[in-house]
Structure 1
C-alpha cells in the first residue's frame, strides 16, 4: 500500500512539472508594444490564447504606470478605488492559476479610459508553442514568487531533476 502511495505521488508530481514546463511566458503588449498608452492591449490579448499556468509579464516605468487587477465592473468603468491587487514595481509577473477572466488596468488618472487596460481570458489545458507574432517567449516554468526563467532549458532541467529524484524515492 505504501508503494502505491509513492507511485501516485510521483505521477502527480510529474504531471505538475509537465504542466509548468508547458507554460508560456507572455510579455504584455509585445512584440510591438508594452504596458503603455500606445499599445492596443485589447488586440494583443485577442491575438493570444492564455492557459492555466501561463505567465504575464507587465513591464513599465513605475513613475508613469502601475498595474491594478480589478473586477469586471471596475474594469468596464475604469474604477480604480477598490482593486483586487496593486502592483507598482515596474516588472510585474503574474501566473494565471485558474480558468476564467482576469482584468487589469493602469491606475494612473486617465490611463484606463485612454485604453491602458486588458482582459485576459484563461482557458484550461496546456499552452502550445506560441506563434512568432504572439509576443511571448519560449515555454518556461515559473518559480513561485519570482521572475520566470528566460529559457525552456531551465524548466526541462528542473523537470528532469524532479523525475530522477522521484525515481530514487520509488526505489525505497
Structure 2
C-alpha cells in the first residue's frame, strides 16, 4: 500500500512540473549571474513560455538584478527600475507574453555584458525551422505552428485540471 501511494505522489509531482512551467537558472549551464556569461547566447538557446520562472543566482556583495524597460536596457541605466532584486537567489515568474529586460545595476557591470533580454511566448504557439537541400545548399523557412493541444481545442488549464482529476481519482481508489 505504501509503494502505491509513493508512486502516485511521484506522478502528481511530475504532472505539476509539466503543467506549471520550467525554472530557468539565468546563465546556466555555463554560469550564473556573473561577468563571464554571454547572456545573449544563453537566452537565444532557451524557450521561455508563460508559467516559467527565471532564477538569478549571484553574490549579493558583488551584484544585483534590476528589471528595466527597453530604454534602460539599451542604455544600461537602472535609475528608473521596474523592480530591484537583492537576495542573491531571486525568482522571477514569467506570467505574461512579452519581452522582459534585466540588468545588473552595479556601475560598469551592464556595459560589461551583465544584461539579459527574455522573450516570453505562449505555450500554445511555437516556431519551427524546416530546411531542404543537399550538400552545402540549404533553403530554410520558419513557420509558426499551434501546439497539438491548441489544434485539438484543449487549453493548458483544461489539460491541467483533467490530469489532476485523474490523479485525485486514482488516489481515492488506491487508499
Specify the TM-score bucket, using the shorter chain as the normaliser: 0.5 to 0.7
CA gap 1:30/1:160 in 2 versus in 1, 3 angstroms = same
Structure 1: 5+ residue runs without aligned partners? Answer: 1-16, 129-155
1:164 counterpart = 2:168: yes
Secondary structure, counterpart of 1:164 in structure 2: helix
SS in 1 for 2:78: coil
State the SS of the aligned residue for 1:76: helix
Residues 29/35 of structure 1: CA separation in 2 closer, same or farther (3 Å cut): same
Q: Secondary structure at the match of 2:43?
A: helix
Could you give the per-residue CA deviations for residues 75-117 of structure 1, whole angstroms, max 9, x where no partner exists?
0000110100000000000110000100000000100000000
Superposed CA RMSD: 2.9
Kindly tell me: are residues 27 and 19 of structure 1, through their superposed partners in 2, closer, same or farther at Cα, counting changes over 3 Å? closer
Separation (CA, whole Å) in 2 of partners of 1:56 and 1:35: 11
Q: 1:44 is matched with which residue?
A: 42
- What is the Cα deviation at residue 19 of structure 1? 8.6
Task: Give 1:78's match in structure 2, choosing from 56, 76, 79.
Answer: 76
Instruction: Quote the residue 2:85 is aligned against.
Output: 87
* Residues 62, 88 of structure 1: 8 Å contact kept: yes
Residues 39/125 of structure 1: CA separation in 2 closer, same or farther (3 Å cut): same
Q: Which runs of 5+ in 2 are unaligned?
A: 1-14, 127-159
Q: Which residue of 2 aligns with 1:107?
A: 105
Runs of 4+ in 1 over 3 A off after TM superposition: 17-20, 159-163
Q: Name whichever structure is richer in strand by fraction.
A: 2
String of CA shifts for 1:28-48, please: whole Å, max 9, x gaps: 000011111100011100111
Q: TM-score, normalised by structure 1?
A: 0.63
How many residues are treated as equivalent by the alignment?
A: 122
Q: In the aligned structure 1, how far is the partner of 2:101 from the partner of 2:52?
A: 15
By how many angstroms is 1:18 displaced? 6.3
Q: Is the 8 A contact 1:51 1:126 kept in 2?
A: no
Instruction: Return the index of the structure with the highest Cα Rg.
Output: 2
